[in-house]
Amino acid sequence: MATLDDVRAICAEFPDVTESVNGHGGGASWRTKAGQVVWERGPRKADLAKLAALGRTWPDGVVVAIRTDGLDGKAGLLETFPNAFFDIPHFEAWPAVLTELGGVDLQLLRETITDSWLLQTTATTRDAWLAEHGPPPAS
């Protein structure tokens, strides 16, 4: 079971990641100059209405979105880890998965955030980090 403090600690391990408060909903966001890596994502009214129409509900715990390697990477995570990651209509065409932190294994969360950071950092920073740490385990 993971927490927002775990997300914060994982993100702090990477160079060039800054934390800020997201203007949309006031949640925390971790990003590089290239874009968001992971961000807190609460439900919008439209999300709740669309989920209700599908017979689904928003999870009770803290939810974060994590950038993926395109829509194929997203589909792979959703298919491989259906109990850890989910999607909503608003995100269908966006390369990111959602996870309720209380329902995701800490190691899987770390691997997924690492993959996201590798996508959102510069090639120089990525290559230096990989030379020091090696490639992340396959999710």
List, for residues 6-40, the tens digit of each pLDDT value. Answer: 999 999 999 999 999 865 566 899 999 999 999 99
For the chain, give the mean pLDDT: 92
Closest CA to 59 of 78, 42, 40, 75: 42
d(CA 25, CA 96): 18
- Domain map (residue ranges) of the chain: 4-133
Percent of the chain at pLDDT > 90 equals 88
* CATH code linked to domain 4-133: 3.90.1150.30
Long-range contacts of 25-30 (CB under 8 A, 24+ apart): 28/4
Q: Using the predicted structure, report yes or no on whether residue 61 has a pLDDT greater than 70.
A: yes
Cβ neighbours around 57 below 10 Å, total: 10
What is the number of alpha carbons within 13 Å of residue 61 lying toward its C-beta? 13
Average pLDDT over residues 48-63: 94
**Greater model confidence, 137 or 5:** 5
Q: Using the predicted structure, report yes or no on whether residue 139 has a pLDDT greater than 60.
A: no
Average pLDDT over residues 74-102: 95
d(CA 117, CA 58): 26
